[in-house]
């Protein structure tokens, strides 16, 4: 397929995004605009200077900059604008359903109220549902470099907004912060009715994926790249239909892989894993959903059937009800039949 044909094919596919940190969709232009509006000086003097800093050797180098960027978010309107910018962008890429992570602790640690953060994000998601026809779920993520006690405080703060929050996740610095550190707070979160997911096996070993499954009882793994080193783990993921939310451009930018040709998604599909493609932190890693689909398809020479499978998996692995899943999946199939 030519570049133009592959791009056009991908642009037309209805798809769901299941691994997106809203703070990671903060484009430098909007960041500067909001920093001026709030009178908060960024450490960088220009958009160009900031973009120059987006060169990472590992997850931690990225996180250090990601947390700096988030510091300009203060008011409900800021969180609304951030979320609305993401939604309008992915709407142009035929994303029809999103499951969005937010990191409350990144903001509450700076004195911003939990309510301010979630009100802004939720109002934009509702507007996106009404005006752009994008359905959504919201996932509150605990920062794993902080203590379990801190996560418990966050769980407590979330309770007045429980009806808006569908699940909890675990993100930030993986190495040295295993899922086992958060067993109690995940149990308490499940007792509140939250669904459970966790980042595991991005930089950390396959043991962290086992822990996320067996100790935290998650129903989906974010990233999970490292599972291929363990046949028993692969068998478990397949048997229990545990989806992986992979993020190829993120993996490349954070040196989880050295080149896109090394990305494990094709092998995972071949082994029957419910693999999906997502953008993680698109403002930092050079692409939203379509760029992730495109770069992966090109480098791994994915067939049309494999690309279709990825889109179907994105709905299968979502938290939509069965009726909505089936509707989207048949739309994906008709699209591929029509081309």
Give least dist CB 104 to Zn ion, A.
15
Stretch that binds Zn ion, among 39-47, 280-288, 294-302, 305-313 (CB under 5 A): 280-288
Catalytic residue among 174, 202, 203, 291: 202
Rama region for 224: left / alpha / beta (φ>0; ψ in -120 to 50; rest): left
DSSP-derived secondary structure for 196-225: EEEEESSSS-HHHHHHHHHTS--SEEEE-G
Among 10, 18, 21, 122, binds ligand HPA (CB under 6 A): 21
**Site residues for ligand HPA, window 265-294 (CB under 6 A)?**
280-281
Question: Helix, strand, or coil here: 40?
Answer: coil
* 250 near ligand HPA, judged by CB under 6 A: yes
* 280 near Zn ion, judged by CB under 5 A: yes
Q: Rounded distance, CA 78 to CA 123, Å?
A: 12
Cβ distance to Zn ion smaller for residue 136 or 284 = 284
* 24 near ligand HPA, judged by CB under 6 A: yes
Cβ distance to ligand HPA smaller for residue 31 or 307 = 31
CA atoms within 13 A on the CB side of 68: 16
* 99 near Zn ion, judged by CB under 5 A: no
Cβ distance 197 to 100 under 8 Å?
Answer: no
C-alpha distances (whole Å) from 307 to each of 24, 139, 303 are 25, 26, 6
Cβ distance to Zn ion smaller for residue 35 or 141 = 141
Site string for ligand HPA, 77-116 (x = CB under 6 A): ----------------------------------------
Tokens of 117: 């953060």
Q: Rounded distance, CA 145 to CA 223, Å?
A: 18
Cβ distance 14 to 331 under 8 Å?
Answer: yes
Residue 23 annotated among the catalytic residues of the structure? no
* 204 near ligand HPA, judged by CB under 6 A: no
Q: Rounded distance, CA 182 to CA 291, Å?
A: 34
Distance of CA 13 to the CA centre of its chain: 19
- The entry of ligand HPA, Zn ion, none near residue 154 (CB within 5 to 8 angstroms by kind) is none
- The entry of ligand HPA, Zn ion, none near residue 172 (CB within 5 to 8 angstroms by kind) is ligand HPA
Cβ distance to ligand HPA smaller for residue 76 or 281 = 281
Tokens of 53: 């800093």
- The entry of Zn ion, ligand HPA, none near residue 97 (CB within 5 to 8 angstroms by kind) is none
* 263 near ligand HPA, judged by CB under 6 A: no
Q: Rounded distance, CA 300 to CA 7, Å?
A: 15
- Residues assigned a catalytic role: 202
Interface residue list for ligand HPA (CB under 6 A): 21, 24, 59, 171-172, 199, 202, 250, 280-281
By CB under 5 A, name the binding residues for Zn ion: 280
């Amino acid at each position: 397929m030519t570049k133009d044909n592959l791009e056009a094919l991908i642009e037309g596919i209805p798809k769901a995004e299941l691994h997106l940190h809203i703070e990671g969709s903060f484009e430098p232009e909007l960041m500067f605009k909001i920093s001026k509006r709030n009178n908060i000086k960024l450490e960088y003097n220009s958009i160009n200077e900031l973009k120059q800093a987006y060169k990472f050797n590992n997850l931690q180098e990225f996180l250090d900059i990601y947390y700096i960027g988030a510091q300009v978010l203060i008011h409900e309107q800021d969180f609304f604008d951030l979320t609305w910018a993401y939604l309008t962008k992915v709407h142009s890429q035929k994303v029809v359903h999103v499951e969005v992570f937010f990191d409350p602790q990144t903001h509450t640690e700076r004195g911003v109220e939990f309510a301010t953060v979630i009100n802004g994000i939720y109002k934009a998601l509702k507007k996106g549902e009404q005006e752009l026809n994008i359905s959504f779920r919201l996932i509150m993520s605990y920062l794993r470099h902080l203590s379990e006690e801190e996560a418990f405080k966050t769980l407590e703060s979330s309770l007045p907004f429980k009806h808006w929050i569908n699940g909890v996740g675990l993100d930030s610095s993986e190495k040295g912060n295993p899922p086992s550190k958060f067993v109690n707070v995940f149990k308490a979160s499940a007792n509140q009715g939250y669904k459970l997911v966790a980042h595991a096996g991005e930089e950390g070993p396959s043991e962290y994926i086992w822990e996320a499954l067996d100790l935290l009882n998650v129903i989906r793994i974010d990233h999970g790249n490292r599972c291929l080193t363990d046949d028993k783990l692969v068998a478990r993921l397949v048997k229990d239909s545990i989806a992986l939310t992979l993020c190829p451009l993120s993996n490349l930018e954070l040196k989880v892989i050295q080149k896109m040709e090394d990305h494990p998604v094709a092998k995972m599909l071949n082994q029957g894993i419910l693999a999906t493609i997502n953008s993680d932190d698109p403002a930092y890693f050079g692409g939203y959903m379509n760029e992730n689909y495109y770069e992966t398809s090109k480098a791994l020479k994915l067939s049309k059937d494999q690309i279709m499978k990825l889109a179907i998996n994105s709905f299968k692995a979502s938290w939509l009800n069965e009726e909505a899943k089936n509707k989207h999946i048949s739309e994906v199939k008709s699209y591929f039949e029509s081309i």
